[in-house]
């Protein structure tokens, strides 16, 4: 099946710093990718839809200036958590659709101290 | 907005027993997808249902999509320890243009 990679898998940072997470579709092109956040023992919450070559579409309540999304190519989307705070600590997962299936990356666990 | 509810939240079964999780949407869905997430892992796509009343089987797993396309179920026959994990449904609302995940059902299987 299609493969979606994410980097890094884990990151620990100090409060106030920015963290960039990469999401790549390895063997297919994805004009649209999705970014989710998952808190422990909770469901996946869609944060934004990343569109190649255009602005991302953010869900209600998600600050676009805090969670910067760039989809510069058909195989790469990046999520930058700016000025991270402890409450941003979470599991961030991206996904990309191919045909009728949604393929998820392995996720990035962000811990903000 | 669209809400997708899933029950039960947790299910503990003895190995060999059956298991069912139910998914209900507040809006009519275009399709519904089911995922499995193992502890510490990421969601893995299981199946997509599109047609009203559709039933699909994957070995011991049976998936159903309701006639009104607002509910769905996943049934596992004779559970095994490898079935442990959290099962999520995700419903696509074409009016909203996006999928919403249910809260998931976490299955534990006692050997």
**DSSP labels, chain A:** ---EEEE-SEEEE-TT--EEEEEEESSS--SEEEEEEE-TTS-EEEEEEEETTS--EEPTT--TTTEEEEEEETTEEEEEE-S--GGG-EEEEEEEEETTEEEE---EEEEE-
Residues in A closer than 8 angstroms to B103, CB to CB, are 42-43
- Indicate the DSSP class of residue B102: -
pLDDT at B98: 75
DSSP letter for B45, please.
E
Q: Which residue of B has its CA nearest to A48?
A: B98
CB contact under 8 A, A46 and B99: yes
Does B102 sit within 8 Å of A43, measured CB to CB? yes
Q: Is B21 helix (H, G, I), strand (E, B) or coil?
A: strand
Mean pLDDT score of chain A, rounded to an integer? 92
Neighboring chain A residues of B48 at a CB cutoff of 8 Å? 100-101
Question: Is B101–A49 a contact, with Cβ atoms under 8 angstroms apart?
Answer: no
Are the Cβ atoms of B88 and A93 closer than 8 angstroms? no
Report which of residues B10 and B92 the model is more confident about.
Answer: B10
- Residue to substitute from A3, A102, A103, interface B, most B β-carbons within 10 A: A102
Q: Do A44 and B44 touch (CB under 8 A)?
A: no
Residues comprising chain A, all counted: 113
Tens digit of each residue's pLDDT (9 = 90 or more) over B27-77:
999 999 999 999 888 889 999 999 999 999 999 999 999 999 999 999 999
Nearest to A80 by CA among A97, A103, A102, A63: A63
Q: Is the peptide bond before B8 cis (omega within 30 degrees of 0)?
A: yes
Q: What is the pLDDT of residues A85-112, one digit of tens each?
A: 999 999 999 998 877 778 889 999 999 9
């Amino acid at each position: 099946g299609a493969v979606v990679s994410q980097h890094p898998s884990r990151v620990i940072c100090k409060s106030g710093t920015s963290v960039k997470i990469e999401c790549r579709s390895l063997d297919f092109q994805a004009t649209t990718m999705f970014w989710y956040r998952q808190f422990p023992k909770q469901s996946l919450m869609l944060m934004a839809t990343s569109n190649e070559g255009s602005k991302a579409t953010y869900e209600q309540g998600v600050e676009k200036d805090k969670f910067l999304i760039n989809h510069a190519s058909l195989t790469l989307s990046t999520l930058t958590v700016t000025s991270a705070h402890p409450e941003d600590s979470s599991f961030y997962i991206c996904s990309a659709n191919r045909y009728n299936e949604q393929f998820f990356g392995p996720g990035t666990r962000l811990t903000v101290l | 907005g669209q809400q997708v509810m899933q029950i039960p939240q947790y299910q503990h079964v003895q190995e060999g027993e059956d298991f069912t999780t139910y998914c209900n949407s507040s809006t009519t869905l275009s399709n519904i997808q089911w995922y499995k997430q193992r502890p510490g892992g990421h969601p893995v796509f299981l199946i997509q249902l599109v047609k009203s009343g559709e039933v699909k089987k994957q070995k011991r797993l049976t998936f159903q999509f309701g006639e009104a396309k607002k509910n769905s179920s996943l049934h596992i026959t004779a559970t095994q320890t490898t079935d442990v994990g959290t099962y999520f449904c995700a419903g696509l609302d074409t009016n909203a243009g996006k999928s919403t995940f249910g809260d998931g059902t976490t299955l534990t299987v006692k050997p």
